[in-house]
A and B are shown apart, each in its own frame.
Chain A
Amino acid sequence: MSKIYILCVDDEPDVLEVIVRELEIFEDYFPVETASSADEARAVIRDIEKSGDHLGLILCDHVMIGENGVDLLISMQNSDFTLDTRKVLLTGQAGLEATVDAVNRASLSHYIAKPWSKDEVIKVVKEQMTHFFLRSGHDTLPYAMILDPMTLAKALHDGLGGDR
């Protein structure tokens, strides 16, 4: 069975470490990968694609050395493999123009402003991963424990979830 990944991108190792620790509860269900630049993120995405797996969500900083986060998200929106991937900005420094770009051209799913709280990140990741499942049509039930119950239940009701 193919795996569904979460990818965190930030050029500050300390920040990455904190985020990964906060996303610990997801590890049993979704492997969490990290990258410290847009290029490294692309390499990780290519590896995921090659192994036949999926990228459910990217949690991305904006201001980074080299290419910025919003441009990475836009390029992901233009690629079939990462079209359904939920795109979340986690940043304190994205200006209005970059943010507008992210919404209009990368279909930004959510914006988390720094400083963030652990509860907020977990809630957003849960909700967004649930949306990924609903968009991409993966079977939700094996992951029911880690997805957002209301979003999931609404979708199973509207989508006429079947018995087995």
Chain B
Amino acid sequence: MNTKRKMFGLILSVAGLLMPIFFDIQGLDFVGEISLGIFVMAACLWIFEPIPIWATSLLVIFSQILLLSKEGPVYLFSNPDYIALEESVSQGEDMESLFAVPSEALEDEHLLLYDEEKRTVSSLEVDIIEDNGSIWISSEELAPGALIVIEKDHWKVTHEPIGFQNFYNTLAHKIIVLFLGGFFLAAGAVKFGLDKNLTRLMLRLFGTKSSFVVLGLLVATGVLSAFMSNTATTAMMITVVLPIISQLDTGDKLKMAVALAIPCGANIGGIATPIGTPPNAVVLSALSKQGFTIPFGDWVVLAFPIVAIMMFITWRLLLIFFPPKSKRLELKLEGGWNKSPKAIACYAIFGLTVLLWVTDKLHGVSSYMVAFLPIALMPLFGIIEKSDIKKFSWDVLWLMSGGIALGISMKLGPAEWLISLVDWSAFGAFGIIMVLGLVAYLVANVVSHTVAATILMPIAISLGTSGGTSTDFNYILACVTVGIMVSFSMLLPISTPPNAIAMSTGMIESKHLMRIGAVVGLIGYLLASLFGYFLWEGMLPKPF
């Protein structure tokens, strides 16, 4: 499958990584060039997918510790020119030593010392005495033979390196832990049937009239996918619904409406909470790097209206595109609540965690800390066991970690360099957000949503921090709006896993999915723009 495309991506990514070695890129220092190389490599691998996307993320972290960290070989073995200090004269009562140094070794009364063993450069303040054009310095801390740097513009001197631990830290970033908390909740919910029972309860509210069953499926899928992965929620819904809709007449378009309501509900529902879908986490991690936190509850308040409106619109569209023939549809869901002590403990922990998350602003305990409640308590009560942990989508966490790590190196120059390629002055402050959102929306239809968000976030932030745009460009608003727009990318079967699962049922063809996906996506994009412009700006912190 697409072998040529994959080869192309592979070659492009290697070329991207090597490019900084062979070309001098205007406007970027050596570190910036390496960072740009890592970005190009990651982007090509993520977009063309010759290797799994999570593998690319791990490769990003490996490249960073190797090429960018203070302890890495590039930093250790690339050294500025240096010379040894010779003692020349001693003077004064205490026979203070004076050393002659070339002018290029000095900068603002500081001398750069080189430590041959540690391969590091340090700065030392010295007294300068000028005499007949030659420069003499004195300092008690200097001894003959000390090594002084005479190549001040070497990148090792101009650049403050980052320790490798900083890149490893992204693997346990607080956003990753928040998601891990979500994984524990979801695993518990699946194990003890909480998701199926909640579905049963929610669907009962909507009765048996065909049109309302479609709405019920949208809402139930949406609510669950706000806390579980969109993929697992869709899969659960399909197992519930497929045996029933398979019984319908071949010509009854209710089949299609139902098969499409589920992935649409999952894709839209994921927007509702920070843990609903990985792009939300990418937004939050990008903002947290800038020192801004959006509380869990605030995100829900901000996202809920657009989710609700989009659900309603999608419902109407589904009924218009796929008018049901059957007037009624009975979704008989079997099963009941598991009343074993473990199940009850699981439900209680689930409820408590969600409650503490959405009320984090009231009680003040960060949602990131609350996330460890299920992580610690579920294993304690035997709700989650070793075999359950093995099922977790660790790849999703690593995918996000690599994205967060890439954000670190993007700040070393590439983000600003990339935005300098475009003249942004033609767009207004909000026009930029619309453009970024459109790019993100289009890209996310063909690549992973997480990747699309990961690539766009550093660019949005740099646009705000570099001052290259109009002063009222709010990058926090940009990140949130663009992140939400990404979730509306559901045009193709490959756009999201829920779409692929819905296609696998055989109830719909690509053209049906594309019809609803295109319209819902476009309306979602426009609605997010309106919300961003009129509402979200006032609800979010301001970076300026």
Contact = CB atoms under 8 A, between A and B. Distances in A.
B259 to A, nearest CB: 10
Interface bin, chain A: 20 to 34
B186 A153 contact: no
Contacts of B512: none
Contact of B239 (A29, A141, A153, A161): A153
A160 B504 contact: no
B231 A156 contact: yes
Contacts of B232: 156-157, 160-162
A156 B399 contact: no
A18 interface: no
B395 interface: yes
Nearest to A164: B448
B278 interface: yes
A147 interface: yes
Interface string A143-158: 0110101101111111
Interface bin, chain B: 35 or more
B190 A157 contact: yes
Contacts of B506: 149
B411 interface: no
A122 B238 CA distance: 21
Given A161-B229, A164-B278, A145 B493 contact: yes
A145 B503 contact: yes
Given A139-B52, A150-B239, A157-B236, A163 B231 contact: yes
Contacts of A145: 493, 500, 503-504
B449 A163 contact: yes
Contacts of B395: 162
A150 B244 CA distance: 12
A160 B239 contact: no
Contacts of A157: 190, 232, 235-236, 239
A70 to B, nearest CB: 33
A141 B497 contact: yes
B124 to A, nearest CB: 51
A159 B391 contact: yes
A1 interface: yes
B497 A164 contact: yes
Given A157-B239, A160-B229, A163-B231, A152 B399 contact: no
Contacts of A162: 229, 231-232, 393, 395-396, 497
Contact of B497 (A29, A150, A160, A163): A163
A163 B448 CA distance: 9
A164 B399 contact: yes
A162 B230 CA distance: 8
A159 B190 CA distance: 9
Contact of A163 (B187, B239, B242, B278): B278
A160 B242 contact: no
B500 A163 contact: no
Grouping DSSP codes into helix (H, G, I), strand (E, B) and loop, the B interface class, with mixed when no group exceeds half, is helix
Contacts of A150: 238-239, 242-243
Interface in A17-48: 29
A52 interface: no
A160 B391 contact: yes
A115 interface: no
B450 interface: yes
B40 interface: no
Given A144-B503, A154-B235, A161 B393 contact: yes
Grouping DSSP codes into helix (H, G, I), strand (E, B) and loop, the A interface class, with mixed when no group exceeds half, is helix
Q: Which of B53, B183, B449, B505 has the most CB of A within 10 A?
A: B505
A163 B505 CA distance: 19
A66 interface: no
Interface string B491-514: 001001100110111100000000
A157 B391 CA distance: 10
Interface in B274-331: 277-278
Contacts of A1: 1, 3, 6, 50
A152 B497 contact: no
A29 B500 CA distance: 15
Interface string B385-419: 00000011101100100000000000000000000
Nearest to B278: A163
Contact of A149 (B186, B231, B449, B505): B505
Contacts of B37: none
B496 A160 contact: no
Contact of B238 (A139, A142, A149): A149
A161 B450 CA distance: 15
A133 to B, nearest CB: 12
Contacts of B496: 163-164
Nearest to A159: B391
Contacts of A163: 229-231, 270, 277-278, 393, 396, 449-450, 496-497
Q: Which of A149, A152, A155, A158 has the most CB of B within 10 A?
A: A149
A150 B241 CA distance: 10
B504 A147 contact: yes
Contact of B235 (A29, A142, A147, A153): A153
A163 B6 CA distance: 22
B444 to A, nearest CB: 10
A122 B316 CA distance: 37
Interface string B197-218: 0000000000000000000000
A158 B235 CA distance: 9
26 contacts: A1-B3, A1-B50, A141-B497, A144-B500, A144-B504, A145-B500, A147-B504, A149-B501, A150-B242, A150-B243, A153-B235, A154-B235, A156-B234, A156-B501, A157-B236, A157-B239, A158-B190, A159-B391, A160-B392, A161-B393, A162-B229, A162-B395, A163-B231, A163-B496, A164-B448, A164-B450
Interface of A: 1, 29, 139, 141-142, 144-145, 147, 149-150, 152-164
